[in-house]
Structure 1
Amino acid sequence: MTVKLDFKQARDAFEAYLDEYDREDEKIKLKIVHTYGVVKSAREIGKRMHLNEEDQQLAELIALLHDIGRFEQLRLYNSFSPDTMDHAAFGAQLLFEGENPMIRRFLPDPEFDEIIHTAIARHSDFKLEGITDERILFHAKMIRDADKLDNCRVKLQESVEAMIGVPQEKAGEGLISPKVWESCLKKEAVLSPDRVTSVDYWVSYVAQYYDLNFKETWQIMKEEDYISRIIWRLDYKEKDTLEKMKILDQQMNDYMENILC
């Protein structure tokens, strides 16, 4: 198979693009680290799948560009809030619209444009629906898994206060809202509007992994013990919350074992 992608060339172009921003800004740094973390995750998942060279490089290129809308979002609003924009849709627009689309900086050949556009535009959808082309669907699933896999690192290493707005020692306070817990029991991701308390946000960060697509991703989740480590990063003050987190920990690990078996 002739390979028409060159990840190294795309990475060099991405580094040049980043020079347009303040690399010393903490939020910019956060997104740069995350971007390369998602590339690493896509590489690891793809290697476990034994992807051919073209699809491997395509997966890594999509990972490289998946959050490109975030940098302009920070420039315009100094915020990652979804209230300011849909960063995924904006990123796809930024890359592909206009007479001289930005995507050509990273990839001269337009053959893969539809795959890249769809994967980036849909990577933060609550549910992935309506994609009928198998290869496009595969790459849309791949970037979602790689993104969530690096998000495990974020949840374990980054400041809890930066993520949910309260200090880590207070983040486990309060009760889990009924709608949030209902989603957990249904083995579903949590809708953003259903989150009320700080602990709701943390629960939603765990429940998002019900949306993982590939067995290979779950293998990494198990090897790193990500679910339990994220759950027990916080100290839960309320007895009811503590008991529910024990249930969630067991339920999600059982869910993972069923997939892997």
Structure 2
Amino acid sequence: MNDAASLPDLAPLRDWFSSYCDSFRTSDLEVQRNFDLKQEHTRNVCRDALLIAHGMGPRFEMLAEVAALCHDLGRFPQFRDYHTFKDSESLNHAHLSAHIMKQHHVLDFLPDEERGCIEVAVRMHNAFLVPQGLPAVTEDLLRLLRDADKLDIWRVFIEYFNAPEAERASGAGLGFPDLPGCSAEPLAAVAAGRMVQLSTLKSLNDFKLLQVSWIYDINYPATLRLIRERSVLERFRAMLPRDREVLDVLAQVSCHLDGKLRDAAE
């Protein structure tokens, strides 16, 4: 896939996205807060996708922005219909996002091959692991989208936790209760260098550990640098219990991040 001398103008797609978000506008302030959250999240994922893709070629940077702009289209009907962002209690929002893209023909300005890359990246961006056997450009785009998505989900969750309860977007915490301590299964997964499975969570603190464990799943050096620059791990450390087990697994993740940054710098 060669970079083209002239790239498509993405202004119509950005305008369509704004109109799409407006179509869900409601006078219910609690619901609208969740729609606003996802609109802002999408714009930030676009920004971070371009930061990560910088230097990878103008054509790839364009694909990264398109994938980022479309990746959470399904979140809007999901929250409207189910009042949750928890896929296990509603539907797979990534699959719905890919369906909405096709339904509205938003990628018709792209060649078939590029359209296929974006559809796979959007459909699979929330998968626990990247599937094997994907074409190289599709896999690169999927990994980049997953990185950019994580970067802004961390921001969303940190802001959610630090906001007064009355101002929180209700969907951001996925409905987990705010209980003391952390559960054994999430702690064991992080200690073993693995990502935490959503099905093992029992509390908001467990959900924080799950998000910390995403640092094991980062694909691009630029993302690692942004994690460090934005003090992501330090912010989660401030939100988690000071238990010895928790501090130990956080120190382990910090060492992992340091090592990856050293490797990227060599």
Aligned to 2:73: 68
AA partner of residue 22 (structure 1): R
Provide the secondary structure at the position in 1 that maps to 2:8: coil
CA distance in 2, matches of 1:78, 1:166: 14
Q: Which amino acid aligns with 1:260?
A: L
Say whether 1:185 aligns with 2:191: yes
The Cα shift of 1:68 comes to: 0.3
Residues 74, 93 of structure 2: 8 Å contact kept: yes
State the Cα distance separating 1:228 from its structure 2 match.
1.6
Letter in 1 for 2:243: L
Within 1, Cα distance between the matches of 2:204 and 2:77? 28
1:8 paired to 2:11: yes
Q: 1:224 aligns with which of 206, 230, 235?
A: 230
Q: 1:40 to 1:65 in 2, by over 3 A?
A: same
Task: Report how many residues are paired.
Answer: 245
Equivalent in the alignment of 2:94 = 88
- Is 104-113 or 183-192 further displaced after alignment? 104-113
Distance in 1, matches of 2:137 and 2:86, equals: 31
Structure 1 residues 125 and 193, CA gap change in structure 2 (3 angstroms): same
Aligned counterpart in structure 2 of residue 30 of structure 1, from 19, 32, 37: 37
Structure 1 Cα separation of the partners of residues 179 and 153 of structure 2: 19
Q: What is aligned with 1:52?
A: 57
Deviation at 1:225, TM superposition (A): 1.6
Which amino acid is the alignment partner of residue 130 of structure 1?
Answer: Q
Deviation, structure 1 residue 13: 1.5
Deviation for aligned residue 1:132: 2.6
Shift of 1:32: 0.5
Contact 1:73 1:85 survives alignment (8 Å): yes
Matched-pair contact (CA < 8 Å) for 2:98–2:122: yes
Aligned counterparts, 1:96-175, within 5 A: 96=102, 101-102=103-104, 104-105=105-106, 107-111=108-112, 112-159=114-161, 162=170, 163=173, 165=175, 171=178, 173-174=180-181
Q: How far is the alpha carbon of 1:209 from its aligned partner?
A: 2.1
Q: Provide Cα deviations, 1:3-32, integer angstroms capped at 9, x if missing partner.
A: 443222211121122221116611100100
Aligned AA for 1:60?
E
TM-score, structure 1 as length reference: 0.87
* Shift, 1:106, TM fit: 5.0
Q: Is the contact made by 1:70 and 1:80 (CA closer than 8 Å) also made in structure 2?
A: yes
- Equivalent position amino acid for 2:77 in 1: E
Please tell me whether the aligned partners of residues 35 and 64 of structure 1 are also in contact (alpha carbons under 8 angstroms).
yes
Question: Secondary structure in 2 aligned to 1:231?
Answer: helix
What is the percentage of aligned positions where both structures have the same residue? 25
Cα distance in 1, alignment partners of residues 257 and 56 from structure 2: 23
Q: Residues 165 and 75 (structure 1 numbering): CA distance in 2 closer, same or farther, change over 3 Å?
A: closer
SS of corresponding position for 1:85: coil
Q: Is the 2:125–2:145 Cα contact (8 Å) retained in structure 1?
A: yes
SS in 2 for 1:232: helix
TM-score of the aligned structures, taking structure 2 as reference length: 0.85
Aligned to 1:207: 213
Q: Are the aligned partners of 2:94 and 2:122 in contact in 1 as well (CA < 8 Å)? A: yes
Structure 1 residues 179 and 31 mapped into 2: Cα distance closer, same or farther (>3 Å)? same
Which AA in structure 1 matches 2:9?
D
